[in-house]
Chains A and B, each alone.
Chain A
Amino acid sequence: MPHPFKVHRTAEGDVSVLHLEGFLDAHTAPAFEQAIQAELDASRSRIVVDGEKLTYISSAGLGVFMGFIEQIREQGGDLKICGLTPKVRQIFEILGFQAIYDMVDSVPDAVQRFVTSPTREA
């Protein structure tokens, strides 16, 4: 039985941190979409996605990242990814996500990355 998916938000200054937990696939993707949409609706476009407790991600789950990144960057923000387990990180890397997303080890690293690279061009 897949681990149920959850997303909860914390903040580090003006950076929103979305902590993902469990199994992100086609059926759980809407919860993640809503969480990102809520950030954009509140004009918060500096987003860190913390995947430390993410146990699995499917292509449909990865599709959520692609669905928002242009809008986020148009608003002058970015979406940084951190804390992925090796198994999950491998899925990101196989598909080449490291080419257009900053992927770092921890939330503090990701928050710091906003200082050095506020918006990364795709």
Chain B
Amino acid sequence: MAHVSVSRLESLLESAQLLHASLDLDNLLKHLLRTVMGRLLVTRAVIAIDAGDGPRVAMSRGVAEATLGQPFDEARATALGLRHHLPIGVPAVGLLATASPARPTVDEEERAFLEALLGIAATGISNANAHAQATRLNRDLDRKIQELRTLMELGRAFSRVNEVEEVARIFGLTVAGQWMVTRYAITVCRDGLGTVSRQQGVKLPPLATYQEAMHRLPDAALVADLEDSELRALFEAHKLCAVFSLRSGEQVCGFAALGPRPGGQSYTPADLELGAGMAAQAVVAFDNCWYFREVLDKKQYEKELAVAASIQQGLFPAALPSLSGFDVAAMNRPAQQVGGDYYDVLTLTDGDDEACLFCVADVSGKGLAASLLMSTIQATLRALLGREASLAELACRANELLFATTPGSKYATAALVLAHPHTGECRYVSGGHTESLLLRADGQRVWLGATGVPLGLFPGMVWEEVALTLREGDVLVLYSDGVSEAQTESFDEFGSERLADIVERERHRPATAITTALLDAIDEFVEGAPQFDDITLMVIKRI
């Protein structure tokens, strides 16, 4: 370095103190520019700093054309009158370009001073840059930690809720806070369980209008980058800028779409990545809620079914009436929790003679619907009994009432026997029911078939009545098709002849014993195969 006077050394020392006192690059560059422009008497100067990709304009004075951050172009700078280019430090961290000094002469000592000043400034700039970079890295790290915390918070919050709406609420609040958005839409749907949508500051059309297109959503994307023009137009029309699909397995079950960030900030690739992570967590939470709801619904259904079963069991007579001249037994074993078979023994006075109605019915279908119809039949028969002139008319009236009160697909087959215990005289009507067995005391098997169509199927139908007399030792067996059609695993059917054989073999035993023997025989026959249909048996023995 050339000789530098004391006054310049003092100035240099002062600058060195200032340049090293602050890690603020802006202040540092301002001081450098002020000093150089003051000493050289120039009115136009630019400082360009090399950030690894060539010098870029970092500060300028008197040069309106120099835009901050733009690459420094030597030719253009020269054209703007910045002819003097001085490197800042060795090796150079940038350069200082000035117009020609107005000062008449710049002596060797002044040049040495400037060189020393720029050298000191280079150290300061390097320090400030390193500090800025460390600050930037710290900020990025803080942000990453915050993002990680958000993901953890979200997971923890989701784990404590079991309502789909609550998951959507938490998800919405979190995205709003994370990206400072005031507009967002979160929509999720599940077959059979409906759609949940939470929208803030936006009102999207019904999901059904674009549900098909929703399945083409990528995991995360800027709306402007969406390939699907329908979805892009939809989201753009509602000023939504980023979208994340909610993907359960291979299937898109919803999305979260976010409005603009404040200050014109865009969603960075890191933001999209974070959003996709949050969406993935939300999907798990949504799935858990749906599953939880299904389990609850199922439990509720089972509970209701148990109540229905107990009500239905109450519909069967607790004890059969004692009838002189008859030994009667009946049983029912439903295939499901609630069944569609029904039996009853109702007594009435028919003129001076006591009479009773035996009934075995089988309602179409299974489960709750069948059990409801079964209770209707019971109520109908009980209400009509004794009011109709004949059994055939009772069937007609019951048919009309059932037809009027049940859907067209619902009906019941029924075997009805109106009996006079003192004489054994009976009237028999069968509405499409399985043929009943009348086993005469002499062993003759009489099969009593249908005398009309099932009840409740068509209006205006009539039924024939069959007259028969039960004599001592005769056994009449009414049963549902769950008996004759009881199956083994290999689909062999129990059959009505096997039933008749057992009745014949057990005919001398009480009705209850015959019933039990039949049921045991069925169980033995099917060898543990599941029971597909309700089993109902009624054994009426003339004694």
CB distance from A6 to the nearest CB of B (A): 19
Q: Is the C-beta of A1 less than 8 angstroms from some C-beta in chain B?
A: no
B174-A66 in contact (CB<8A): no
**Within 8 Å CB of A67, what residues of B?**
173, 176, 182, 200
Q: Tell me, in angstroms, the Cα distance from A99 to B261 when the chains sit together.
A: 11
> From B142, which residue of chain A is reached at the shortest CB distance?
A94
Q: Is the C-beta of B172 less than 8 angstroms from some C-beta in chain A?
A: yes
Q: Is the C-beta of B175 less than 8 angstroms from some C-beta in chain A?
A: yes
Stretch from B149-157, B206-214, B350-358, B486-494 at the A interface:
B149-157
Within 8 A of B (CB), among A68-122: 69-70, 90-91, 94-97, 99-100, 122
B173-A63 in contact (CB<8A): yes
CB distance from B228 to the nearest CB of A (A): 28
CB distance from A96 to the nearest CB of B (A): 6
Q: Is the C-beta of B178 less than 8 angstroms from some C-beta in chain A?
A: yes
Q: Tell me, in angstroms, the Cα distance from A91 to B177 when the chains sit together.
A: 10
**A43-73: contact bitstring with B at CB < 8 Å (1 yes, 0 no)?**
0000000000000001111111111011000
B180-A100 in contact (CB<8A): yes
**Within 8 Å CB of B3, what residues of A?**
none
The CB with the most chain B CB atoms within 10 A, among A59, A62, A67, A95, is that of A59
Q: Is the C-beta of B263 less than 8 angstroms from some C-beta in chain A?
A: yes
* Known interface pairs A60-B153, A66-B181; A94-B146 also in contact (CB < 8 Å): yes
The CB with the most chain A CB atoms within 10 A, among B142, B143, B153, is that of B153
Interface of B is mostly: helix
* Known interface pairs A66-B181, A90-B142; A99-B153 also in contact (CB < 8 Å): no
**Within 8 Å CB of A60, what residues of B?**
153-154, 157, 170, 173-174, 177
Q: Tell me, in angstroms, the Cα distance from A59 to B171 when the chains sit together.
A: 10
* Known interface pairs A27-B160, A63-B174; A95-B180 also in contact (CB < 8 Å): yes
A58-B263 in contact (CB<8A): no
CB distance from A87 to the nearest CB of B (A): 11
Q: Is the C-beta of A31 less than 8 angstroms from some C-beta in chain B?
A: no
Q: Is the C-beta of B139 less than 8 angstroms from some C-beta in chain A?
A: yes
> From A91, which residue of chain B is reached at the shortest CB distance?
B146
Q: Tell me, in angstroms, the Cα distance from A104 to B144 when the chains sit together.
A: 26
B146-A95 in contact (CB<8A): yes
Q: Is the C-beta of B262 less than 8 angstroms from some C-beta in chain A?
A: yes
A122 contact from B160, B262, B265, Cβ within 8 A: B262
**Within 8 Å CB of A38, what residues of B?**
none
> From B139, which residue of chain A is reached at the shortest CB distance?
A94
**Within 8 Å CB of B180, what residues of A?**
62, 66, 95-97, 100
A25 contact from B139, B142, B153, B182, Cβ within 8 A: B153
Q: Tell me, in angstroms, the Cα distance from A61 to B180 when the chains sit together.
A: 11
Q: Is the C-beta of B205 less than 8 angstroms from some C-beta in chain A?
A: no
A-B pairs, top 8 by smallest CB distance, nearest first, are A62-B177, A63-B173, A63-B176, A63-B177, A26-B157, A59-B177, A60-B173, A66-B176
Given A60-B154, A66-B180, A96-B265, 14 more pairs with CB closer than 8 A: A26-B170, A58-B149, A58-B153, A59-B174, A59-B177, A62-B177, A62-B180, A63-B174, A63-B176, A65-B177, A66-B181, A67-B173, A94-B139, A95-B180
